[in-house]
Structure 1
Amino acid sequence: MTKSEEKKQMRRMIRALERELPAAYKAQSSAGIARHLLAMPEYQAAVTVFCFVGTDREIDTTAVLKDALSSRKRLCVPLCVGDGLMELRQITALDQLVPGAYGILEPSADAPLVDADAVDFAVLPCLSCSHGGHRLGQGGGFYDRFLARYRGGAVLVCREKLIREDIPLEPHDCPVPWVLTERGLWEDGIPARLG
């Protein structure tokens, strides 16, 4: 079995597992992850933040988005512009988000474009990841392309119950140094202190 086939198999397994998670656990884990993330000094010091807009199946990032806006950070979110391609677009209010590609809330195409080099801190989604920062995405390649050119601070957010240490890796996969679950923060696979 190739690594690509292993990833497809693991995606099916993780999606099935995610569907079985109780709504109360999802809400609790999202709240815990947001609380930990907002306590990260790297987030607090960031001037420009890139954060995905969570879907029903992902971590709810609403608290992070609201905090970034109320803290007067420059907030950018993804806009899907093609197959596996996204742009970072600035928003100044959550009501600027509308359903876009794949039914995900996105900014409009006329929202200001932000270069990845301008981002100080990025909050990234995953289906699953290891505590060491190896990421299993949805398979579209959007975040692989972003990570290949991004050099700032980044954190993967994942529910603890979806963490897997045996993520299949391909040459293009870029590990992310920080992983955040409702249990806390890992840096390069080692539990780290927050604040």
Structure 2
Amino acid sequence: MNAAERGEIRRLFDLQRKQLPPRERIIAAQGLRQSLEQLPDFLTDVRVGGYWAVHGEIPLNLAIAGLASRGQQFWLPVLQPGPSMRFARWATGDAIVSNRFGIPEPEQQGSLIEAQALDLILVPLLAFDRRGYRLGYGGGYYDRVLAERRPPDEGGPLLVGVGYAFQGLEQIEPAPWDLRLDYVATDQELIECQPVSHHESETP
């Protein structure tokens, strides 16, 4: 999959998301909540990173509605100088401001933390496959801040990609720097990502 093919997939799925009627987005948000609540970690991890939905992404408002009552925290990305980001805690009703890309961030950013300090991160995407590879937006922010991620069983954050079911592809050929997701949560299912074995990847 070359750069032109990646660009075309991004363009098509971005357009398809933006064309969804509001009612379908609400239904998708309900389905996403059901999918995420099948993952025990989502119900117990204290520091949950996420995103502010823009450009037709599935809204997280329904999925994160129960975090506070379970004693969990929600954290949003905050862009830093250069191609980097950290995370700030945010709760419903807190003030927001737009960053340089027009994406909302918490206005009161308090103590910013690194992505590695989160327990679970809901990662936005434009396409995914069931092995856990994703196409992001081309900026490489998540790939950079999670390049040295420890495995979840060694204290690193669990990575859960979030997208509509129609954004799934049979296979994405990853670049060397692409991070791999542990799970993908869609409006229809929770997918535990499994890498393709050597035997399965052999050409007949």
TM-score range, shorter chain: 0.7 to 0.9
Partner of residue 178, structure 1: 183
Q: Deviations over 1:103-127 (max 9, x none)?
A: 2110136422123332111111101
Partner of residue 41, structure 1: 40
The letter for the 1-side match of 2:131 is: G
SS at match of 1:114: coil
**1:93 offset after TM fit, Å?**
4.2
Q: CA RMSD in A?
A: 2.2
1:161 has 2:177 as partner = no
Verify the 8 A CA contact 1:178 1:187 in the aligned structure 2.
Answer: yes
Instruction: State the percentage of identical aligned residues.
Output: 26
Q: Deviations over 1:28-63 (max 9, x none)?
A: 112210222134211112011111121241110112
Q: Aligned partners of 1:104 and 1:11: how far apart in 2?
A: 18
Partner of residue 23, structure 1: 22
Q: Deviations over 1:48-93 (max 9, x none)?
A: 1111121241110112333223333132110112343111112244
Where does structure 1 lack aligned partners over 5 or more consecutive residues? 191-195
Q: Cα distance 1:149–1:107, how it changes in 2: closer, same or farther (>3 A)?
A: farther
Q: Aligned partners of 1:74 and 1:92: how far apart in 2?
A: 8
Q: Aligned partners of 2:89 and 2:45: how far apart in 1?
A: 15
Q: Aligned partners of 1:107 and 1:20: how far apart in 2?
A: 28
Verify the 8 A CA contact 1:85 1:145 in the aligned structure 2.
Answer: yes
Q: Cα distance 1:22–1:36, how it changes in 2: closer, same or farther (>3 A)?
A: same
Q: Deviations over 1:126-148 (max 9, x none)?
A: 01111221111111111111331
Q: Aligned partners of 1:111 and 1:38: how far apart in 2?
A: 29
Where does structure 2 lack aligned partners over 5 or more consecutive residues? 150-155, 196-204
SS at match of 2:174: coil
Q: Aligned partners of 2:63 and 2:144: how far apart in 1?
A: 23
Which is richer in helix?
Answer: 1
Verify the 8 A CA contact 1:7 1:167 in the aligned structure 2.
Answer: no
Q: Cα distance 1:15–1:115, how it changes in 2: closer, same or farther (>3 A)?
A: closer
Q: Which structure has the larger Rg?
A: 2
TM-score, length of structure 1 as denominator length: 0.85
The letter for the 2-side match of 1:174 is: L
Q: Aligned partners of 2:117 and 2:13: how far apart in 1?
A: 33
TM-score, length of structure 2 as denominator length: 0.82
Which is richer in strand?
Answer: 1
Listed as ranges, the matches of 1:27-176 within 5 Å are: 27-108=26-107, 110-150=109-149, 151-176=156-181
